[in-house]
Structure 1
């Protein structure tokens, strides 16, 4: 089964938050198809508008479609970065997608966008260590955890900062495809990984 997977893109997105998981899902596809199998993921970069995203550090990234596209995705991944200027329409899109996704996930400060969208609840969440206090202050009802790479509650998953998105993405490959594919993906990427939070 090939799952549709959207990565939300916006100006000042953290490059590794978005591109790290993209690489994991891309390599997982190479692993699953090299022996004639199906691609594991159909990855789509979804922008808040149709122009190129200007990521942190100046990288320009083209998007495949926008949040105005009405299609639904099996998996939505929301990276972090400078999230204070992300239009409110993105939170509305996340909220709408959450109603039908198998899992909605965030990397780093992407957790702030999930909170804006109203999809977080009493279950623990995490974010970049530098932003933990701010997340707690802005949403005092959230149970924000430190010292974990990621947390997975089935329909919601959050990760700590930047490189932790690789761990979360590999975990999602393990969960949604197979542990063997996740292990092979990490090995292909020469990334030291074990599926533990």
Structure 2
């Protein structure tokens, strides 16, 4: 399984590193062949929030087939205006089994038209803006993540870890998700 995490400048550090840690830890604890990697618009270093520098493994033009796409949050106001990025998200969606967002990553999925008529969530401070910008969405607050079938959205920052553990429980088993959380010394908060 190929698990891609889409990153960009001003992304929240824990939005990208939390899911990466969950999936890579789950991979270490099991015999499942998971390829966990970061994808960015290009191969220039990404400057995440607080000046945290990250290098992507692949670009949106050059990556393996993606089974699970995770789009992270952060200051995404510029990202939703990038037609090539939105077009890429739509393209990946056609073959991916699951598409998820952390925090304001939901804005990118919504802009791509993937969340229309679905129940979704985002960071608590961005609930109203998401609902007003994309009125076809049923945006809910007070949930760590929302599973709408193929699409799973989470609240902000640490909620992405909880959602990723949930995805591990759905993809493999609850036992693996619990063992992953224990290995990370993390208290999994369920929905």
Question: Which band: TM-score by shorter chain?
Answer: over 0.9
**Partners in 1 of 2:16 and 2:5 — Cα distance?**
7
The ranges of structure 1 where at least 4 consecutive aligned residues each deviate by more than 4 angstroms after the TM superposition are none
| Aligned with residue 74 of structure 1, among 57, 64, 67 | 67
**Partners in 1 of 2:166 and 2:119 — Cα distance?**
17
Deviations 1:118-162 (A, max 9, x none): 111212000000000110111112100000000112210000011
Residues 1-197 of structure 1 aligned to structure 2 (within 5 Å)? 3-32=1-30, 37-39=31-33, 41-69=34-62, 71-86=64-79, 87-193=82-188, 196-197=190-191
Deviations 1:15-58 (A, max 9, x none): 000100000011101111xxxx233x211110111111000000
RMSD between superposed Cα atoms in Å? 1.1
**Partners in 1 of 2:167 and 2:62 — Cα distance?**
24
Number of positions where the alignment pairs a residue of Structure 1 with one of Structure 2: 189
Q: Which runs of 5+ in 1 are unaligned?
A: none
**Partners in 2 of 1:121 and 1:130 — Cα distance?**
21
TM-score (structure 1 length as normaliser): 0.93
